[in-house]
Amino acid sequence: MANLIKESARGIEVVRIEDELLLSREIFFVDGVDKESSNELLKQLMYLERQDNTKEIKIYINSPGGEVMSGLAVYDFISLMKAPVTTVCIGTAASMGAILFLAGQKRQMLPHTRLMIHDPSFARAEFGGRKPHEIQHELDKLNETRESLARIISEKTGKTLEEVYEVTADDTYYSAEEAIEFGLATEIIK
């Protein structure tokens, strides 16, 4: 982890860059989405919301995606926040990383960044020895998740569910310009 050396009334101090950025209301999310990374992000958001719920928070995202439920917990919390949240894609926001990107009221991308959206998939599911109705139950849950994610994309982009399902059937990558055109992003930072 990178540190800063700062001089203060107490002398020379070593400060983590992440802590300094948090004081400026900037958060970096550059991990896969899982319980640990999502909980860390939620704690930072809760802290900033309590400090001042009128000032903007920026979340810089470069994430390959990950666990849907962990990501949706963060998405839902951001949706409930009073503080305005801007998300900035600084590499590739893929899968659940793209859904987190969509949580921002303003959604900015650097010129050479990418977004990737797709349907959810089974995570390490074992179907050997399972009965057909058990497999069908898992498939039903997966389709419910697919619909939830498609609704988020539809609401944020203004596209119909059918249009969203068409592009999420496969891994679909968007350049910054294509993301603006589809409605995933609101601005390219130049």
Side-chain-side CA neighbours of residue 78 (13 Å): 26
Closest CA to 121 of 159, 169, 180: 169
Which residue out of 95, 112, 133, 137 is catalytically annotated?
95
The reply to whether 175 belongs to the active site is no
Helix (H) or strand (E) holding 179: helix 176-182
Which residue out of 70, 118, 133, 148 is catalytically annotated?
118
Cα–Cα dist 115/95, whole Å: 8
**Beta-bridge partner residues of 114:** 92, 175
Closest CA to 116 of 66, 75, 161, 168: 168
86 contacts 108 by C-beta, under 8 angstroms: yes
The reply to whether 70 belongs to the active site is no
SS3 content of the chain, % helix, strand, coil (to 5): 45, 25, 30
Cα–Cα dist 158/136, whole Å: 31
| CA distances in angstroms from 68 to 17, 22, 120, 186, listed in the order given | 29, 25, 8, 24
- Catalytic residue numbers? 95, 118
